[in-house]
Structure 1
């Protein structure tokens, strides 16, 4: 197991800087997930760690060794790509063995490692098939097996499940989790899928336009997002956000929302820069109530019944749609007038200028 350290890592294409001074320390054996919208730089950052993209500035250490100038073959890492990258003219066995043979491994070691990886991934019946004879999930297992046989110090995954259907993604996600639990290898995983990130990661790195917005355990990012960007990005359906007014009384800070004052006191995480704020409320933190207790009300425009829960989308009449989580047995119908109030202990308040968390 090997630790990986990124210090002030930068990437530029000419005058265009796309990765901005990233600092991340990845512990030995940790499963770190990079998430963010398309174009945020997560795959570019992964390719820089792999040695497939040149590092424009900063320091990258793998196992305590500076590797900025080392080619991929000397970094002792294995990468699993989105498109499998299998050789179509080779059998599964030959695909898995190819990297070891290129490194001069003896035949007995190659056979042993291929057999072990095939057993771990349960692909023994497919060893003599060609990639074209396999399903998408089977091809991804082969790509993972090719990485496993090398016994690298770290695994890098670049959106490995995005080409699979929903059922296969769930199956392969579980396989990756079991594989990590078994091998305890340092793993960096890029995805745009929040479920993958939340279920696989020890820690998540949220990237935005080449910068780190927040790093932390999945539930920490969900429960205490450090910025409005993280609040909106983590969680599905997305967090409800409502504009509010900032009110200060000496050292105390409060926000006024729908005619009510929500005190932040002197525990505000950041000094407000603007006279406005954004209040975030997760769908599960809006409670159906009587009209006289309601902070918000509106007609139900859409009801999404997902089996385990139901999401309702309320038209509030002020160009805002509120998402509310209902129990799965809820009997709501489109057109119903519904009143809700927030759970005050679960509000998220962000500065109107910096978009940083205030509470």
Structure 2
């Protein structure tokens, strides 16, 4: 397998810049996930790596070789698409072997690689069927098998699970993770689903408006988001955020309450308005006199393993709090909440960047 290096990669359509000077080093064997909202540029960036989109500026290297001007076939990568892209008139076996035949592989090599991939993906019993005779999950396995038999330098996945139902997505996430652990293949995976990103990735690249917001391991992004955008995008339910302001270097005015932020600030001299963030699981019930927030429960979601309460705290603000799964809580009940200052996230209002 080969590493992939993106150095100041740019993409423009005429005067419109859609990808802005992106730098990423993807190690050989790494599973890297590009995640972000629709329109952020993640699929465009993947297609540039694949050679399906021209590179306006910068350098792209695969295995140490600059590939900016090479065709997709010359880059020795394999791509799995969202819509499977299988030939409907061919059997599963023919779909998987077609690319190898076009490259002049011998029948022995083709047979061995197809059999190995079919065993790994548990589709050996379907080799004589056509795509129309398969379920969505089986078709996605065939698309993955077609990529595996190539034995490429890297695998590229473009939202491969988005056409599957919820149960199949969970099943296929597990299969992709197991496949990567077995093959140790360099993989770049695009998704808008942060749960997929968190469960599959060695590292995540969070993209926003054609630029990189943050790169890091999944729990690094969750525990210490570098920006308000990352804080709100990574995590489900999303982080609670409230505008606040400093009354002095270590105290924060939070909805009219003065809160000691010494443990959260990490430095003195902070001033002006900030955005206060707290994860739902970091809020705890407390006595009224110790509360940072007080309000009534508007909605309670009981999900079996977890319970979430949505608490109205005034001025159309709603806090999400995670409770023990067996918590007996009623709509309209008054509750009081606070947190450990060390669990607080603070972001500069003007830049959106983290300040603690």
TM-score (ref. length: structure 2): 0.97
Q: Secondary structure at the match of 1:302?
A: strand
Greater shift in the superposed pair: 341-350 or 48-57? 341-350
Aligned to 1:301: 298
Measured after TM superposition, the shift of residue 247 of structure 1 is 4.6
What's the counterpart of residue 261 of structure 2?
262
Q: Distance in 2 between matches of 1:34 and 1:346?
A: 27
Q: Does 1:311 align with 2:305?
A: no
CA deviations 1:2-32 (Å, max 9, x no partner) are: 1100000000000000000000000010000
Residues 197-276 of structure 1 mapped to structure 2, 5 A cutoff: 197-247=197-247, 249=249, 255-257=252-254, 258-263=257-262, 267-268=266-267, 275-276=272-273
Is 2:280 the counterpart of 1:279? no
Pair 1:33-2:33 in alignment: yes
Counterpart-to-counterpart distance in 2, 1:211 and 1:307 = 38
Q: Determine whether 1:347 maps to 2:321.
A: no
In structure 2, distance between residues paired with 1:241 and 1:110? 55
Does structure 1 residue 117 correspond to structure 2 residue 114?
no
Q: What RMSD over aligned residues (CA atoms) do the two structures have, in Å?
A: 1.5
The size of the alignment, in residue pairs, is 354
Q: Note the alpha carbon deviations across 1:327-357, whole angstroms, 9 max, x for none.
A: 1001111111111112211100001111110
Distance, in Å, in 1 between the alignment partners of 2:289 and 2:169 is: 45
Correspondence for 1:331? 328
Q: Give, in whole Å, the separation in 2 of the partners of 1:12 and 1:106.
A: 42
Aligned 8 A contact 1:255 1:263 in 2: no
- The answer on whether the counterparts of 1:118 and 1:145 sit within 8 Å (CA) in structure 2 is yes
- TM-score, structure 1 normalization: 0.96
Which stretch has the larger CA shift, 340-349 or 207-216?
A: 340-349
* Residues in 2 aligned to 1:332 and 1:254: alpha-carbon distance in whole angstroms: 32
What is the alpha-carbon distance in structure 1 between the residues aligned to residue 37 and residue 265 of structure 2?
34
The answer on whether the counterparts of 2:307 and 2:325 sit within 8 Å (CA) in structure 1 is yes
| Conserved 8 A contact 1:255-1:277 | no
Structure 1 range deviating more: 57-66 or 339-348: 339-348
Q: Give SS of 2:111's match.
A: helix
Which is worse superposed, 259-268 or 286-295?
A: 259-268
| Aligned mates of 2:20, 2:275 — CA distance in 1 | 27
Contact 2:11 2:19 in 1 (8 A): yes
Aligned residue for 2:180, secondary structure, equals helix
Shift of 1:266: 7.8
Residues 8-66 of structure 1: CA deviation (Å, up to 9, x unaligned): 00000000000000000000100000000000000000000000000000000000000
Q: Write the distance in 2 (CA, Å) between the matches of 1:279 and 1:133.
A: 53
Structure 1 position 256, deviation (Å): 3.0
1:167-208 alpha-carbon deviations (Å, 9 max, x no partner):
101110000000000000100000111111111100000000
Equivalent residue number for residue 320 of structure 1: 317
Match of 1:194 in 2: 194
Name stretches of at least 5 consecutive residues in structure 1 with no aligned partner.
none
- For the residues of structure 2 that align with 1:216 and 1:45, how far apart are their CA atoms? 18
Q: Pick which of 167-176 and 288-297 moved more.
A: 288-297
2:59 corresponds to: 59
Mark the CA change 1:266 to 1:322 in structure 2 (over 3 Å): closer, same or farther: closer
Contact 2:287/2:336 (8 A) holds in 1 = yes
